Structure 1
Amino acid sequence: MTIEWRYTIHPGLGVLSLAGFLGQEAVGRFQGAVGWALARGTGPVVLDLTGLRGWSDGGRLAVSEAASRLAAEGRGLELAAVPERGTLAPDGRFVCDAQVTIAVHGDLAAALAAHRDRGAEEREWRSDAWPGNG
């Protein structure tokens, strides 16, 4: 089982949406999607987990590594709609090994609202089997 992804550029940030299960077998695909986001966007990346059915320890570690990778490029990672609230610290932060702050939003709308009012064009790319294609 793997994940499907969609990357959308919003004014001043990118949204990387995942669907499926982020397990060890999907980590390579996830890392590729993060690379796509790095190459095509600017500003923070909101990782939209609305369509994610769950994640393994390896998947959570991959998210932590993505935060470090983005930070090395001067960009932040934020999470929206975390599938398992038990993976968050009591103060609402994402629990990870990275020495990087990862903001957490209840859903994608809240994440976008935190960055709203920039008024530019949105662009979108997605893998072929993204739910709703075809």
Structure 2
Amino acid sequence: MTIEWRYTIHPGLGVLSLAGFLGQEAVGRFQGAVGWALARGTGPVVLDLTGLRGWSDGGRLAVSEAASRLAAEGRGLELAAVPASGTDGLPDGGFADGPVAIAVHGDLATALAAHRDRGVEERAWRSDAWPEGG
């Protein structure tokens, strides 16, 4: 089982949306999507987990590593819509206690509202099997 991803550019930030299960076998694909976001956007990356069914310890570690990778480029990582089943595996205090703090938002709308008023063009890319309607 793997993930599908979509990357959308908003003014001053990007949204990397995931669908599926972020397990060890999907980590390489996730790292590639993070690389795509690094190469094509600016500002923080909001990792939209609305379509994520869950994640393994390896998936959570990959998210933490992505935060470090983005921080090394002067960019932040924020989470939106962490799956309810995924909160049990979050480090104490969410991701704030890791090597790089990761803000956690209840949903994508809340995350975007935190960055609103930058207002121009949006662009989006997705992997081939991204679910329709999303």
Q: Same fold (TM over 0.5)?
A: yes
Alpha-carbon deviation of 1:84? 3.3
Partners in 1 of 2:21 and 2:97 — Cα distance? 21
Q: Is the 8 A contact 2:4 2:19 kept in 1?
A: yes
Aligned residue pairs: how many?
132
Alpha-carbon deviation of 1:115? 0.1
* Percent of aligned pairs sharing the same letter: 90
Per the alignment, in what secondary structure is the counterpart of residue 52 of structure 1? strand
Q: What are the superposed Cα offsets for residues 35-87 of structure 1, whole Å, 9 maximum, x if unpaired?
A: 00000000000000000000000000000000000000000000000113663
Partners in 2 of 1:90 and 1:3 — Cα distance? 22
Partners in 1 of 2:113 and 2:51 — Cα distance? 19
Alpha-carbon deviation of 1:92? 5.5
Q: Is the 8 A contact 2:54 2:86 kept in 1?
A: no
Q: Is the 8 A contact 1:64 1:97 kept in 2?
A: no
Partners in 1 of 2:91 and 2:63 — Cα distance? 19
106 and 92 in structure 1: CA distance in 2 versus 1, 3 angstrom threshold: farther
Q: What are the superposed Cα offsets for residues 96-115 of structure 1, whole Å, 9 maximum, x if unpaired?
A: 77411100000000000000
Q: Is the 8 A contact 1:12 1:43 kept in 2?
A: yes
Partners in 2 of 1:12 and 1:115 — Cα distance? 8
Q: Which runs of 5+ in 1 are unaligned?
A: none
Aligned Cα root-mean-square deviation (Å):
2.2
Per the alignment, in what secondary structure is the counterpart of residue 9 of structure 2? strand
Q: Is the 8 A contact 1:92 1:104 kept in 2?
A: no
Q: Which runs of 5+ in 2 are unaligned?
A: none
65 and 91 in structure 1: CA distance in 2 versus 1, 3 angstrom threshold: closer
Partners in 2 of 1:14 and 1:69 — Cα distance? 15
86 and 24 in structure 1: CA distance in 2 versus 1, 3 angstrom threshold: closer
> Scaled by the length of structure 2, what TM-score is found?
0.91
Partners in 2 of 1:129 and 1:36 — Cα distance? 17
Partners in 2 of 1:28 and 1:22 — Cα distance? 10
> Scaled by the length of structure 1, what TM-score is found?
0.91
Alpha-carbon deviation of 1:120? 1.1
90 and 62 in structure 1: CA distance in 2 versus 1, 3 angstrom threshold: closer
